[in-house]
Structures are given as structure tokens and as C-alpha cells.
A = this chain, B = another copy of it.
Amino acid sequence: MEKEYDFELLNRYLEMRDYRSLKEALAKENEVDIADFMENLPQDKATVVFRTLPKELAAEVFSNLPPETQQIIIRSITDEELGAIVEDLFVDDAVDMLEELPANVVKRVLKNAQPETRNLINQFLNYPENSVGSIMTAEFIDLKKTMTVSDAINRIRRIGEDRESIYTCYVTDSRRCLEGVVTVKELLLSPDETVIGDLMERDVITARTTEDQEEAVQRMMRYDFISMPVVDHENRLVGIVTVDDVMDVMEEEATEDFEKMAAMAPSERPYLKTNVFELAKNRIVWLLVLMVSGMITGGILGKYEASFAALPLLVTFIPMLTDTGGNAGSQSSTLVIRGMAVGEIRPADFLKVLWKELRVSFIVGVALSVVNFIRLVIMYPGNELIALTVAFALLATVVVAKTIGGILPIIAKSVKADPAIMAAPLITTIVDACSLVIYFNVAERLLKL
């Protein structure tokens, strides 16, 4: 069960400088846990632990360390040791690491890699951020369609050690174009003499290096793949995307959407590791933008000063109106933005969403208005017209808020803007403005102010 964070024994050996016992204990631990353990140690101790690691674990632990600790380690080891680690890393892990390190450290790392590794890493570093190319790995098993099952299994046994994923094998022709896929499960369940060309699935679902990673991830989830081949513009197989990368991308994208919908610049690093100024910077810009929205609302409110000077009670219902409008709008926009993110709602569903939100908002608006009307009649007897004004403004606010909240993200997406970023400020501004204008106009007419 929970074996995480059970580092007492390791700490004790480290304190006692009993490096032999430490080495034996480390060998039994998972590389993710060791990385966690090292992350919380002081620099010199982390270096000691790393040097004590069994050789075969070193690269794996290294790829799980945060960039700060990686830098410390890189500074403390010889060029030869560094070269060995870089060779042991899978290309995608090496690229992830290099993207976070300062330029002088990157130079030193690349200098100590073998020429082929260096070329591969350089090529991968060139794929644009968030592209499939930036998350793929180059270590896959390739087969030829003329091989038999036993040839294929022999090849896997020979070259499998260095491959990140061996369970799906890719069949390529002499020009490295992808011809089909075959899984290890199919190989194991077929007679030894079966020819790969007869066994392989020819209708392969692929991703392109330049495609957005989110789209590729959605495709993998749709088909429940544990890996997907990545081809270039000439259909040549250049890499694969594996399911662990997919889970990371899913988590990142969801976190990014959360941040955007809460009106923040998305952050690259986890909360506890981001410094205070970075956090403040990410938040100030959008708060300023949204403050403009509050100013517009204030400006509109200013036009009705005469009304609320004549009847100050009107003011006390404003927070309820604008809050409810904001909440109703963000309910709709959240559902639609999330629906688009997981691929359920497409821009073509515009009319469906509009019609649905119109009906939902009417039901919700009527329910809220009735409850409010009853409450106001009880709390302010003799002010039935005010109660009616508030109830009517509330209904109109909810309908406007939900309709705009539902369709604005779709409009944003179809003009290639980011729905999650556009939603909050625009909806708040429009809904607040509409609800105040409706409220005071109804009030002026009904209450003859």
C-alpha cells in the first residue's frame, strides 16, 4: 500500500555514513521515491546519495529529479559520468531536462553526449512547445513485414532493453514509412511461423510531429491506446507517444484550464515551488483587466445615481443581482469550455448549445425569481413593486448570463481564441452591464422614479 515517504531508514544510514547499507536500501526503492527523498535533502547529502546509487538506477532517478536538483548533480559529477547518464536517459526525458536547464549547463550536457544522441536531442529540442514532437520519444521497436513472429520476438529480445515501450511494435518499409502495427500480445498469441505482414493492423491511427499535443492525447484516449506512432509530413515514422506522457499532458492541460478560468496566466511550475513575485505577476494582469470590467459597471451605475438617491433600497439588491449573473454565466461557460476540452462539444454544436442554454436559463431564472419575489414580499411588506422589479431583473440577468456564457466560448474557439481565457472577463462585463441596465430601467418605469 502506501510506501511513500518512508525514508527513516535511508536517513539513518546517511547520518551514520553507512554507505554500504544505504546502497542496499536504495536498490530496493522505486526511482520516483528516491528522487523524492533526494529533493528534500541538503545539496551535499543529495550528491552523496546520488553517488551511492546503483549504476542502473542512476539515470532513472536523475530523470525524476526537479531541475534545481539536476543542476546540483550535474555540477558535482565528471564529464564522463555526465555523458553516461545522458546516454542512459530516454530521448524525451533528456529533452525535458534540457528545456529547464540554463544554457551553459545544456552546452556541457550536449558536449558529453555521443554524436547520434546529440543530433537526436537537438532535433527534438526544435519541435514547437505543445506539439506532439515535443512529447514523443524516439525509442520504439521497428519490424519489417517479411519477418516471422519468432524473428520479431528475437528482435525484441535483442534491442528491447533500450526501448521505452516495447508492447506495440511498428512495421516500416525501406524508406522508414509506417506500414502497420502489431502488439506483443498478438505476437505472443500467434504461432511462431506467422508472417508479420499477415498479422499487422494496416489501418494505423497516427499523430503528426507538428500537431497540437492536446489533439493527439484526445485521440489516444478515444481509442484507449497505450502508445501511438508519430509520423512526419512524408509519413515516415519518427517517434511514439506513450501513455505516461499522455497522463502528464492531461494533467497539465486541465491545470492550465483551471488557471485560465480563474483568470490567471497559466504557470509552468507547481504552486509551492513558484516564488511569490511570479505568482503575483501571473495574477495582476487579469485582475487589472477585470477591474476595467468593474469600472464599466460602475460607470453604468453612475448614470442611475438619481434613481438610487431617490430610493436607496434599490442599491442593496445590486450585489445579489450581479453575483447571481456571474455565477449563472460561469456555470454555463465552464460546462461548455470543459465539453470542448474533452472533445464532446464542437463549434458545429453552436445552435444546440444556444437552444439548450435558453431553455435551462429560463427554468433556472423563473425558479430563482419566484423564490426572491416571495422573500422580498415577506421581508419588505408593502413594496410589492420593488419585489417585482428585482424578480424581473433577476430572470433577465440569468437568461442573458447563461446564453452568453454558453455561446461565447464557442465563438472564441471558432475565431481561434482561447475559450478559457476569453470567458471570465467578457462574460462578467456584459452580464453586469446588462443586468444593471435592465434593473434600473424596469425600476424607473415600474416605480415611476
What residues make up the interface of A, taking CB atoms closer than 8 Å to B? 1, 3-4, 28-30, 32, 153, 156-157, 160-161, 166-167, 184-185, 188-189, 203, 205-208, 221-224, 226, 243-244, 246-247, 250-251, 254-255, 257-259, 261-264, 270-272, 276-277, 279-280, 283-284, 286-288, 290-291, 293-295, 297-299, 301-302, 305, 308-309, 312-313, 315-324, 326-328, 330-331, 333-336, 338-339, 342, 344-345, 349, 352-353, 356, 359-360, 363-364, 367-368, 371-372, 375, 398, 424, 428, 432
Asked if B205 and A188 make an inter-chain contact with CB atoms under 8 angstroms apart, the answer reads no
Which chain B residue has the least Cβ–Cβ distance from A184? B184
Assembled-state Cα–Cα distance A259/B424 (Å): 15
Assembled-state Cα–Cα distance A247/B207 (Å): 19
Which chain B residue has the least Cβ–Cβ distance from A222? B32
Asked if A334 and B221 make an inter-chain contact with CB atoms under 8 angstroms apart, the answer reads no
> Among B3, B315, B368, which residue has its beta carbon within 8 angstroms of that of A308?
B315
Asked if A312 and B305 make an inter-chain contact with CB atoms under 8 angstroms apart, the answer reads yes
Asked if B327 and A290 make an inter-chain contact with CB atoms under 8 angstroms apart, the answer reads yes
Smallest CB–CB gap between A425 and chain B, Å? Answer: 9
A sample of 25 cross-chain residue pairs with beta-carbon separation below 8 angstroms, ordered by A number, consists of: A1-B205, A3-B203, A4-B222, A160-B185, A167-B184, A226-B226, A250-B251, A255-B342, A258-B261, A259-B338, A262-B327, A262-B334, A271-B336, A272-B345, A276-B360, A276-B363, A280-B363, A288-B371, A290-B327, A294-B323, A294-B324, A295-B375, A298-B320, A302-B316, A319-B322
> Among B283, B295, B326, which residue has its beta carbon within 8 angstroms of that of A328?
B283
Task: List 6 tightest A-B contacts by C-beta distance, closest first.
Answer: A294-B320, A262-B334, A298-B316, A280-B363, A297-B319, A224-B244
> Among B4, B288, B290, B327, which residue has its beta carbon within 8 angstroms of that of A323?
B290
Asked if B352 and A291 make an inter-chain contact with CB atoms under 8 angstroms apart, the answer reads no
Which chain B residue has the least Cβ–Cβ distance from A29? B203
Residues in chain B near residue A326, CB distance under 8 A = 323, 326
Assembled-state Cα–Cα distance A424/B288 (Å): 21
Known contacts A293-B323, A320-B295: A3-B205 contact under CB 8 Å: yes
Asked if A368 and B327 make an inter-chain contact with CB atoms under 8 angstroms apart, the answer reads no
Asked if A271 and B345 make an inter-chain contact with CB atoms under 8 angstroms apart, the answer reads yes
Smallest CB–CB gap between A270 and chain B, Å? Answer: 5
Which chain B residue has the least Cβ–Cβ distance from A163? B185
Which chain B residue has the least Cβ–Cβ distance from A320? B294
Assembled-state Cα–Cα distance A250/B342 (Å): 12
> Among B250, B263, B321, B375, which residue has its beta carbon within 8 angstroms of that of A247?
B250
Copies of this chain present: 2
Known contacts A294-B320, A334-B259: A328-B254 contact under CB 8 Å: no
Known contacts A160-B185, A323-B428: A203-B367 contact under CB 8 Å: no
Smallest CB–CB gap between A225 and chain B, Å? Answer: 9
Known contacts A291-B320, A315-B301, A326-B326: A331-B184 contact under CB 8 Å: no
Asked if A221 and B205 make an inter-chain contact with CB atoms under 8 angstroms apart, the answer reads no
Asked if B286 and A327 make an inter-chain contact with CB atoms under 8 angstroms apart, the answer reads yes
Asked if B323 and A262 make an inter-chain contact with CB atoms under 8 angstroms apart, the answer reads no
Asked if A339 and B272 make an inter-chain contact with CB atoms under 8 angstroms apart, the answer reads yes
Given contacts A30-B223, A322-B322, 8 further A-B contacts (CB under 8 A): A32-B222, A153-B188, A226-B243, A254-B254, A283-B360, A284-B364, A287-B331, A305-B312
Known contacts A271-B345, A291-B372, A360-B283: A188-B160 contact under CB 8 Å: yes
Which chain B residue has the least Cβ–Cβ distance from A305? B312
Smallest CB–CB gap between A131 and chain B, Å? Answer: 15
Asked if A356 and B308 make an inter-chain contact with CB atoms under 8 angstroms apart, the answer reads no
Residues in chain B near residue A312, CB distance under 8 A = 305, 308-309
Asked if A334 and B258 make an inter-chain contact with CB atoms under 8 angstroms apart, the answer reads yes
Asked if A363 and B277 make an inter-chain contact with CB atoms under 8 angstroms apart, the answer reads yes
Residues in chain B near residue A295, CB distance under 8 A = 320, 375
Q: Which of A290, A321, A331 has the most chain B CB atoms inside 10 A of its CB?
A: A331
Asked if A301 and B279 make an inter-chain contact with CB atoms under 8 angstroms apart, the answer reads no
Residues in chain B near residue A309, CB distance under 8 A = 309, 312
